[in-house]
Structure 1
Amino acid sequence: MSTPPLRKDAAQNRHRIIETARRYVDDGKSLQLNDVARTASIGVATVYRHFPTPEALLETVALPTIEKLLRRAEHSLAEDDPWTALREFLAAAIETMLTDPAVPPVFAAATDALEVTGDCKRRLATAFAELLARAHAAGVIDPGITESDMIPLMCGVAYAANIQSTLDPTERATLGLRYLDLLLTGLHRP
């Protein structure tokens, strides 16, 4: 069952709320619904009607980037070379984590406020598992490396790049990709 389209004014309010939240996240500000309402010059009740929790708003802000990463995962799954496919996906994941500050807390959350977020995260996990399994089957990655190993390693790469606080997000992403390359060089079995 689909929901009816929003009235024009409701859609405009929703858009203003999301834009304001995006600025808050990009500026490293805490995402409090009352503050977002005040900054967006929209009533608090209107914000809560669209987003009952800060988590729901954060997921909405992060969703376009997460969906883009999911499309990249699907593209990687179509790649014939298992090593290239895995490497491309992991590079896209690192770049995503380092350029959109809304994404890491959404990925780290134990629960999802929106069903679509949970669905995207499950689809990403499935794609990653398939990419890793293909790399194992082709013998191009250390057979002892598991999904459970790769997740903290990827977090470590992102953390190492993020501690360079003087760099802008694009520069941190470039550094993160360099660190990822170093990590994957150690895991690769030519």
Structure 2
Amino acid sequence: MSPQRADALRNRDLLLETARRAVASGDLSLQLNELARRAGMGVGTAYRHFPTRRALLEALAAPAFAAVLDGARTAASHDDARTAVEVLVRGLLDGQLADAAFAEVIAALPADDVLPETTALRREFGDLTRTVVDRARDSGALRADLTDEDLHHLVCGTVFALGLAPEPPARVEAYLRVLLDGVRAPRSPDRA
């Protein structure tokens, strides 16, 4: 690896780490000029790596997106459809609660993606989610009128609701239970 290339990678990593610290402190503005200053690099260097705030946001979200995608793969391969839905929903909920950058990226429309890597992650996640939802609906474990998009929106809404709770970590399990109970297929009188 050439010294210039190694230097460029170090600068990119430093900028990402600086942005991670900003997000962890609650600052999602990701103003590249300010981040470059904090990282001790020129603004031009920052913009060469991340030409827009959205590009930086997606790069920050990539590790969390990959982890959520691993959970979705596990859910899609699970034998029990009801458990698969729970694994999928819990992974998406936990991923958004743990990583504000990921929460913003996953809540946005696919048309907002600027990095092809984000689009690829989103596409695979969508395919896996459809697999889990279709199987759960077909088995009677999930409401017949619920789509994969509905489930995604409900999880994002739950994340938002948890942000309003006075003690979000203490309420995660309760909110998750309510969400999962709400998406289950109603029991018919002969199955009650």
Given the two structures, how large is their TM-score scaled by the length of structure 1?
Answer: 0.88
Q: 1:186 to 1:54 in 2, by over 3 A?
A: closer
**Are residue 9 (structure 1) and residue 10 (structure 2) matched?**
no
The count of corresponding residues between Structure 1 and Structure 2 is: 182
Residue identity in the other structure for 1:28: G
Match of 2:18 in 1: 20
* Contact 1:67/1:120 (8 A) holds in 2: yes
- Secondary structure in structure 1 of the residue aligned to 2:100: coil
* Contact 2:81/2:135 (8 A) holds in 1: yes
Q: CA deviation at 1:178?
A: 2.3
- Secondary structure in structure 2 of the residue aligned to 1:42: coil
Runs (4+) of structure 1 exceeding 3 A deviation are none
Q: Deviations over 1:115-152 (max 9, x none)?
A: 00011011111111110000011111121222243233
* Contact 2:133/2:148 (8 A) holds in 1: yes
Q: CA deviation at 1:87?
A: 0.8
Equivalent runs, 1:42-121 vs 2, <5 Å: 42-110=41-109, 111-121=112-122
Q: Percent identity?
A: 36
For the residues of structure 2 that align with 1:52 and 1:156, how far apart are their CA atoms?
Answer: 30
Residue identity in the other structure for 1:8: A
Given the two structures, how large is their TM-score scaled by the length of structure 2?
Answer: 0.87
Q: Deviations over 1:70-90 (max 9, x none)?
A: 011111111111110111010
Equivalent runs, 1:35-46 vs 2, <5 Å: 35-46=34-45
Residue identity in the other structure for 1:100: D
* Contact 2:107/2:156 (8 A) holds in 1: no
Larger RCO: 1 or 2 (CA < 8 Å, sep 6+): 1
Unaligned runs of 5+ in 1: none
For the residues of structure 2 that align with 1:14 and 1:155, how far apart are their CA atoms?
Answer: 30
Match of 1:175 in 2: 171
**Are residue 33 (structure 1) and residue 10 (structure 2) matched?**
no
For the residues of structure 2 that align with 1:31 and 1:77, how far apart are their CA atoms?
Answer: 34
Unaligned runs of 5+ in 2: 188-192
For the residues of structure 2 that align with 1:138 and 1:156, how far apart are their CA atoms?
Answer: 26
C-alpha RMSD over aligned residues: 1.9
Q: 1:188 to 1:6 in 2, by over 3 A?
A: farther
Q: CA deviation at 1:22?
A: 0.6
Residue identity in the other structure for 1:69: V
* Contact 1:21/1:36 (8 A) holds in 2: yes
Residue identity in the other structure for 2:150: D
